[in-house]
């Protein structure tokens, strides 16, 4: 049965005591899509990841993955997801193949079907040669690949990854994303990633920006950047507050001071640089112009820096 | 059942690729061998001494009472120390890594996890007790101990060990710290071992309760060669209660 979505999260809220970690979060992910949940630490990503991975009960709202409801059909849902944790979930005292075989057993794979799936998985991640090696002898990047292969062994329709690039060097990160893209192309696997890395978020088809337990914006990276409607001027000044007020009065702008730096979004930013220099030559220490980044989108939507938690 | 065996196989494999299994098995064999040969030596000395004294009643001097019964008593004390070291890993090690959470995201049920882990620990304990059977085998080759009493004694030791494994798995399910799991298990096992001590001075019904709860009482009964259903029910009950408690502990850990 073809569904318009592989993952549907509706009005999910979660509290730890009085702290509300998620507040009516909702989004849908289409089949074969790579969807990223971007947010700073403490934004609610881990809570949402744990709910999607069925590690936390749903307090409010509904979660549906590949047609299985997380409340009424948790067992069916678990059989359709692959989960890759941020921290290693491998038995380092077993070989790569033994780790894969054990994981296959948990998903009801045995005999020839399991052997074929393990061999295919190892070949796909380029570790067929090291199948007999103890996991403890592998590098961080290779361990991550084994985790991925494990997560895909049962051919899940939805793969959920928590901060997949964490701890990987740039080369291993590139390999990881090339692998995930190929996986989506070849198998049509839906991929859901939580991340706090802008670079990682750029690889996603669509993003949901999560801050303080709420999805503050969602869309493709380009759509999100387009919401800013111009370029970004960043001005450093010793009297940032006074200069900010003067700028807003003089140019009718909505500049704001964030962490001691004046930030201004404007469709006419290039021309504004010259005008600002001419109007406030003494107050401006440095000024820079840039295309909006996802971090700018985050600031635009939340009014605070990504990393100021 | 397949999931139970899959979890048990992984744990058994994991224990046997590390030095743990070999250290435990070697240590247990060395200790039990030390006990056995000392008791056997003592028995031989007694036989030699009494055979020189004519007219002495030596019917009480037999291999079961002089060697097997004290050997099993000593092995029980060794198991009380060793089993918590075997079971400490079962859940605590997984809890300290993401492997525990990975199990929770798979279609495996908590009951299957608990049984799988129990079987894995029980397997190592079974291997230990199986190795110790070499000692009565030596006695049967060179002497004539009573088979029924010997078998009942070893069965008692095995059933006690299985109950201890369930208790050890329970404490391992409560924490991610293996040292805490070991010490807590030792405390529980020691309590089961000594709980009957105040029974002598206690009035009814406390006395009966303490005697019934004491693992030593039931073990002693089997050492005498008595296969009483009450003892079998006791060992089964202790095992089931701790398996149930482990299930509850793991179930509650899932949602933390």
CA distance B30 to chain A (A): 27
Chain-chain contact of B17 with A94 (C-beta, under 8 angstroms):
yes
pLDDT for A2? 62
Q: Does A55 contact B102 at a Cβ distance shorter than 8 Å? A: no
Residue count of chain B, please give it.
256
First-last CA distance in chain A: 43
From the CB of residue A263, how many other CB atoms can be counted at a distance below 10 Å? 19
A286-290, strands of its sheet edge to edge? A256-258, A261-266, A231-236, A286-290
C-beta atoms of B2 and A102 within 8 A: no
Q: B82: which strand partners?
A: none
B chain contacts of residue A110, beta-carbon cutoff 8 Å: 2
Distance CA B126, CA B160 (A): 11
Instruction: List the single residue in A53, A88, A102 with the smallest CB-CB distance to B105.
Output: A53
A54 touches chain B (CB under 8 A): yes
Confidence grade of residue A307 (pLDDT, cut at 50, 70, 90): low
Q: Provide, as residue numbers in chain A, all residues whose Cβ is less than 8 Å from the Cβ of B97.
A: 87-89
- Position B238 scores a pLDDT of 95
Q: What is the length of chain A? A: 309
Q: Do A83 and B99 touch (CB under 8 A)?
A: no
Contact, A152 vs A123, CB < 8 A? no
CB-CB neighbors (< 8 A) of B104 in chain A: 54-55
pLDDT score, position A309: 46
What pLDDT shows up at residue A285? 87
Using CB atoms, pick whichever of B105, B108, B255 lies closest to residue A57: B255
Q: What is the structure's pLDDT at A308? A: 55
Which of B18, B107, B108, B251 to mutate to test binding with chain A, by most A CBs within 10 Å of its CB? Answer: B107
Interface probe with A: pick from B6, B14, B19, B255, most Cβ of A within 10 Å: B6
Return the pLDDT at A30. Answer: 92
| Three-state secondary structure call for residue B162 | helix
| Domain residue ranges of chain B, discontinuous segments joined by + | 2-254
Residues of chain A neighbouring B108 (CB-CB closer than 8 A): 106
> How many interchain CB pairs under 8 A, A with B?
67
Whether residue A137 lies within 8 A of chain B, CB to CB, comes out as: no
Give me the residue from B3, B7, B105 closest to A54, CB to CB.
Answer: B105
Buried b / exposed e across B53-64, counting CB within 10 Å, b at 16+? eeeeeeeeebbb
Q: How confident is the model at residue A1 (pLDDT cuts 50, 70, 90)?
A: low
Sequential DSSP letters for B204-243? TTHHHHHHHH-HHHHHHHHHTT---HHHHHHHHHHHHHHH
Please give the C-alpha separations between residue A143 and each of A125, A126, A149, A159, in angstroms, as whole numbers: 11, 12, 10, 17
Distance CA B101, CA A54 (A): 10
pLDDT mean by block of 10 residues, chain B; 256 residues: 88 85 91 93 86 72 86 93 91 83 86 95 94 92 88 94 96 93 94 86 84 89 88 94 95 76
pLDDT digits (tens, 9 = 90+) for A268-287: 778 888 888 888 888 888 88
Res B256: pLDDT? 65
Across the interface, whether the CB atoms of B107 and A110 are under 8 A apart is answered no
Q: Give the distance between the most distant pair of CA atoms in chain A.
A: 77
Cβ distance B105 to A78 less than 8 Å, yes or no, reads yes
How far is the alpha carbon of B102 from chain A, nearest alpha carbon, in Å?
7
- What is the chain A residue with the closest CA to B108? A106
Residues of chain A with Cβ-Cβ distance to B115 below 8 Å are none
Q: Report the C-alpha gap between A238 and B226 in whole angstroms.
A: 91
The pairing of strands A158-162 and A7-16 is: unpaired
Residues of chain B in Cβ contact (below 8 Å) with chain A: 2-3, 6-7, 9-10, 13-14, 17-18, 97-99, 101-108, 254-255
**Rg of chain B, C-alpha, whole Å:** 20
Question: Measured at the alpha carbon of residue B103, what is the angle toward residues A108 and B21, in degrees to the nearest 5?
Answer: 95
Alpha-carbon span A66 to A73, nearest angstrom: 11
Q: What pLDDT does residue B172 have?
A: 94
- Cβ B104–A110 below 8 Å, yes or no? no
Give the chain A residue whose CA is nearest to the CA of B9.
A102
Backbone angles phi, psi at B196, to 5 degrees: -80, -10
Contacts of A137 in chain B (CB under 8 A): none
Whether residue B101 and residue A79 make contact (CB cut-off 8 A), yes or no, is: no
- ipTM > 0.85 for the complex: no
Kindly determine whether residue A94 and residue B10, on different chains, have CB atoms separated by under 8 Å.
Answer: yes
Q: Which residue of A has its CA nearest to B10?
A: A102
Q: What is the pLDDT of residues A162-214, one digit of tens each?
A: 888 877 778 778 888 888 888 888 888 999 999 888 888 888 999 998 888 89
The order of strands in the sheet holding A19-29 is A19-29, A7-16, A60-65, A68-69
Count H helices and E strands in chain B, helices first. 12, 0
The model's pLDDT over A152-163, given as tens digits with 9 standing for 90+, comes to: 888 889 999 988
Domains of chain A: 7-224 (3.40.50.300), 229-291 (3.30.70.260)
Please tell me the distance in Å from A304's CA to the nearest CA on chain B: 31
Among A76-80, A91-95, A252-256, B218-222, which stretch is predicted with the lowest mean pLDDT? Answer: A252-256
| Cα of B4 to nearest chain A Cα, Å | 9
For B101, the closest chain A residue by CA position comes to A55
Q: Per the CB < 8 Å rule, is A106 touching B106?
A: yes
């Amino acid at each position: 049965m073809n569904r318009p979505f592989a993952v549907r999260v509706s009005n999910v809220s979660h509290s730890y005591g009085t702290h509300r970690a998620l507040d009516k979060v909702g989004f849908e992910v289409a089949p074969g899509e790579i969807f990223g949940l971007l947010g700073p630490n403490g934004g609610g990503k881990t809570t949402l990841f744990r709910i999607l991975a069925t590690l936390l009960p749903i307090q409010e709202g509904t979660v549906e993955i590949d047609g299985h409801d997380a409340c009424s059909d948790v067992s069916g849902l678990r059989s359709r997801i692959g989960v890759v944790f941020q921290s290693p979930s491998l038995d380092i005292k077993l070989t790569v193949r033994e780790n894969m075989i054990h994981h296959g057993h948990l998903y009801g794979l045995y005999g020839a079907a399991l052997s074929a799936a393990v061999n295919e998985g190892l070949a796909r991640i380029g570790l067929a040669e090291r199948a007999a090696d103890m996991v403890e002898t592998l590098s961080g990047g290779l361990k991550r690949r084994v985790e991925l292969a494990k997560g895909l062994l049962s051919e899940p329709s939805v793969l959920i990854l928590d901060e997949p690039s964490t701890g990987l060097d740039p080369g291993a990160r590139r390999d990881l994303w090339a692998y995930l893209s190929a996986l989506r192309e070849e198998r049509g696997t839906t991929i859901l990633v939580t991340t706090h890395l802008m670079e990682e978020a750029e690889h996603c088809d669509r993003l949901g920006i999560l801050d303080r337990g709420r999805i503050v914006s969602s869309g493709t990276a380009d759509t999100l950047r387009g919401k800013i409607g111009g370029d970004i001027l960043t001005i450093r000044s010793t009297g940032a507050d006074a200069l900010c007020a003067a700028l807003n009065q003089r140019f009718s702008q909505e500049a704001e001071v964030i962490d001691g730096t004046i930030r201004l979004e404007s469709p006419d930013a290039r021309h504004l640089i010259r005008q600002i220099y001419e109007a406030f030559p003494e107050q401006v220490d440095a000024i820079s112009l840039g295309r909006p980044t996802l971090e700018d989108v985050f600031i635009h939507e939340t009014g605070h820096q990504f990393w100021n938690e | 059942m397949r999931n139970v065996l899959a979890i048990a196989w992984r744990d058994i494999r994991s224990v046997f690729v590390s030095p743990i299994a070999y250290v435990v098995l070697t240590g247990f064999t060395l200790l039990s061998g030390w006990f056995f040969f000392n008791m056997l030596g003592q028995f031989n000395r007694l036989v030699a001494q009494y055979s020189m004294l004519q007219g002495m009643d030596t019917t009480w001097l037999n291999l079961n009472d002089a060697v097997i019964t004290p050997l099993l008593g000593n092995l029980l004390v060794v198991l009380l120390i060793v089993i918590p070291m075997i079971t400490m890993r079962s859940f605590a090690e997984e809890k300290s890594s993401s492997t525990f959470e990975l199990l929770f995201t798979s279609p495996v049920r908590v009951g299957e996890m608990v049984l799988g882990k129990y079987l894995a620990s029980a397997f190592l304990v079974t291997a230990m007790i199986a190795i110790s059977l070499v000692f009565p085998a030596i006695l049967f080759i060179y002497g004539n101990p009573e088979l029924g009493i010997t078998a009942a004694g070893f069965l008692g030791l095995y059933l006690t060990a299985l109950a201890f494994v369930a208790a050890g798995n329970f404490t391992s399910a409560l924490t991610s710290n293996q040292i805490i799991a070991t010490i807590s298990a030792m405390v529980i096992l020691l309590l089961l071992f000594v709980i009957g001590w105040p029974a002598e001075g206690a009035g009814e019904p406390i006395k009966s309760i303490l005697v019934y709860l004491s693992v030593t009482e039931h073990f002693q009964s089997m050492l005498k060669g008595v296969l009483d259903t009450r003892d079998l029910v006791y060992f089964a009950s202790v095992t089931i209660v701790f398996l149930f408690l482990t299930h509850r502990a793991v179930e509650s850990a899932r949602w933390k």
